[in-house]
Amino acid sequence: MGHWIRDSLLLRWAELTAEISRKAFTPSFVIDRLLRVPDMEREVRDAREFYKTLRDKECVWTGLSLGSRFDVTMPSPSLCGTTTTCGTYFPLTPG
């Protein structure tokens, strides 16, 4: 997609969000949030810490029970249509 199309979509989305929020958010606030690049290391660390608190964990790939040793992974890039992110969220799961 051409960069000007992306830019115009972001601007219009920010304007609509400001309108829907009844001006609780300004378009510049929304654009700032939309253009942030997520910190993948932090996202993985946060997901890992959450999954550590769960008593029963299951591998998303095999369905086998997981103990205290596990990796945090994205189950499938096709979930988002990209190999890196779903907007600003990563669908991280134990595997």
Could you read off the pLDDT of 56-66 as tens digits, one per residue? Answer: 888 777 788 88
Could you read off the pLDDT of 10-67 as tens digits, one per residue? Answer: 999 999 999 999 999 999 999 998 888 767 677 778 888 888 888 888 877 778 888 8
Is the pLDDT assigned to residue 84 strictly greater than 50? no
pTM (predicted TM-score): 0.42
C-beta neighbour count of 94 within 10 angstroms: 20
Of the pLDDT bands very low, low, confident and very high (cuts 50, 70, 90), residue 88 is very low
pLDDT at 34: 87
Contact (Cβ atoms closer than 8 angstroms) between residue 71 and residue 95: yes
With a CB cutoff of 8 Å and minimum separation 6, the contacts of 67 are 57
* DSSP reduced 3-state for 94: strand
Contact (Cβ atoms closer than 8 angstroms) between residue 44 and residue 70: no
Contact (Cβ atoms closer than 8 angstroms) between residue 59 and residue 14: no
